[in-house]
């Protein structure tokens, strides 16, 4: 199926975009208006865009029914400051409640049962229950349209960071597993970054991966190995040396698999890949060469 976004109504286009482009982190944004009234609202069109300077960007989209601006957008125009509070599992239901379209002037801290804490550098308060909060000054607001569903990029420069020490590891760094973050999916769905759902991939930052194209054809064209398997093999800088190939070739399980055939060797190599023994896995695969 191929779609023309210009032929879709706003609701259908939003459903497609927000379901396909996921999971998305959530900016739980606290702002104040010119009269000092507090607003707290979540936005999943959000991410970090720069380290130096530290820039976070989120986008309050205009209401689909009439194109009107939400309170958060009006507030950052009136008072260009925002605190972006990070959402974890312990607060996700309360956060969702604050997305209710309460009338202007209603304090969502109270509606959601959150505790406001005074910020150091900006006027909006931060959320005590959030594991990490970023005090920000708004550098600019970039409108992307004026109709229903149009986004507005709020470019927010971080001036203070507050971290709950309970989510730090023994080195004083943020610990992903302790943060227990949630992210927005499509519809009513969310996902949770639990330890069981986390996995590591070696990053090719200090090495130059040889690439999938440098693997022998019988490996690239394997009916057993997955795309992820090939990506992991291609991340190695080079093929295993002769010593490792010879050593692996003497392993009993490799000898047995070699007697069975190429597919058996590929399945054995896949087991080594799943165990994180990438070089050994590639050495096994080289014994399947025709």
Q: Domain holding 20: CATH number? A: 2.30.110.10
Token reading at 127: 């959320």
Model pLDDT, residue 158: 98
Report phi then psi at 56, rounded to 5.
-110, 145
pLDDT digits (tens, 9 = 90+) for 132-146: 999 999 999 999 998
The confidence score (pLDDT) of residue 205 equals: 64
- Indicate whether 95 and 68 sit together in one domain: yes
- Res 22 pLDDT > 90: yes
Cis bond upstream, residue 272 (ω within 30): no
Note the pLDDT tens digit of each residue in 179-214: 999 999 999 999 999 999 998 887 776 778 899 999
Q: Report yes or no on 206 lying in a domain.
A: no
Residue 167 has pLDDT above 90, yes or no: yes
**Banded model confidence at residue 57, pLDDT cuts 50, 70, 90:** very high
Q: Check if the beta carbon of residue 124 is closer than 8 Å to that of residue 66.
A: no
Q: Would you place residue 69 in the very low, low, confident or very high pLDDT band (cuts 50, 70, 90)?
A: confident
Report CA-CA distances (Å) from 81 to 30, 98, 134, 196. 9, 19, 11, 37
Same structural domain for residues 158 and 30?
A: yes
Residue 200: predicted pLDDT: 85
Tens digits of residue pLDDT in 260-286: 999 999 999 999 999 999 999 999 999
Residue 126 and residue 244 share a domain: no
Residue 112 lies in a domain: yes
Q: Are residues 227 and 256 in the same domain?
A: yes
Cis, peptide link before residue 95, omega less than 30° from 0? no
Tally of domains within the chain: 2
% of the chain exceeding 70 in pLDDT: 99
Residue 105: inside a domain: yes
Q: Which structural domain, as residue segments, surrounds residue 153?
A: 5-197
Last residue of a domain, one of 144, 171, 197: 197
- Does residue 65 sit in the same domain as residue 189? yes
Which strands form 38-43's sheet, in the order they lie side by side? 38-43, 27-32, 81-86, 132-143, 152-163, 55-58, 46-50
- Of 197, 229, 253, at which residue does a domain stop? 197
Query: Are 30 and 97 members of one domain?
Result: yes
Q: What is the reported pLDDT for 56? A: 98
In a domain, 40, yes or no: yes
CA distances from 106 to 35, 69, 100, 276 (A): 13, 16, 11, 53
In a domain, 243, yes or no: yes
229 and 105 inside one domain: no
The answer to whether position 234 is within a domain reads yes
Once rounded to an integer, what is the mean pLDDT over residues 13-17? 93
Tell whether 90 and 40 lie within a shared domain. yes
SS3 190: strand
Domain-embedded: residue 33? yes
Q: What pTM does this model have?
A: 0.86
Instruction: Enter the tokens of residue 89.
Output: 């599992």
**173, 197, 221 - which closes a domain:** 197
What is the model's pLDDT at position 278? 94
75: in domain: yes
């Amino acid at each position: 199926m191929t779609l023309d976004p210009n032929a879709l109504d706003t609701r259908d286009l939003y459903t497609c975009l927000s379901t396909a482009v996921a999971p998305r982190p959530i900016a739980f944004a606290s702002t104040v208006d010119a009269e000092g009234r507090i607003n707290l609202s979540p936005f999943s069109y959000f991410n970090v865009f720069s380290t130096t300077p530290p820039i976070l960007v989120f986008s309050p989209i205009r209401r689909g029914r009439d194109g009107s601006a939400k309170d958060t957008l009006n507030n950052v125009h009136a008072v260009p400051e925002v605190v972006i509070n990070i959402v974890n599992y312990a607060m996700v239901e309360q956060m969702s409640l604050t997305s209710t379209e309460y009338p202007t002037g209603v304090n969502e801290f109270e509606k959601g049962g959150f505790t406001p804490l005074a910020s150091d550098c900006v006027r909006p308060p931060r959320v005590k229950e959030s594991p990490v909060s970023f005090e920000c000054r708004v550098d600019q607001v970039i409108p992307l349209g004026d109709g229903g569903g149009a986004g507005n990029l709020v470019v927010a420069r971080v001036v203070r960071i507050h971290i709950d020490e309970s989510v730090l590891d023994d080195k004083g760094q943020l610990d992903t597993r302790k943060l227990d973050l949630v992210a927005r999916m499509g519809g009513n769905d969310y996902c949770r970054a639990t330890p069981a759902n986390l996995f590591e991939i070696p990053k090719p930052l200090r090495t130059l991966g040889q690439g999938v194209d440098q693997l022998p054809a019988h490996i690239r064209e394997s009916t057993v190995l997955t795309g992820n398997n090939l990506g992991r093999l291609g991340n190695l800088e080079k093929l295993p040396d002769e010593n490792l190939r010879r050593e692996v070739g003497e392993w009993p399980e490799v000898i047995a698999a070699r007697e069975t055939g190429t597919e058996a060797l590929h399945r054995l190599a896949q087991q080594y890949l799943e165990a994180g023994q990438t070089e050994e896995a590639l050495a096994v695969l080289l014994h399947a060469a025709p």
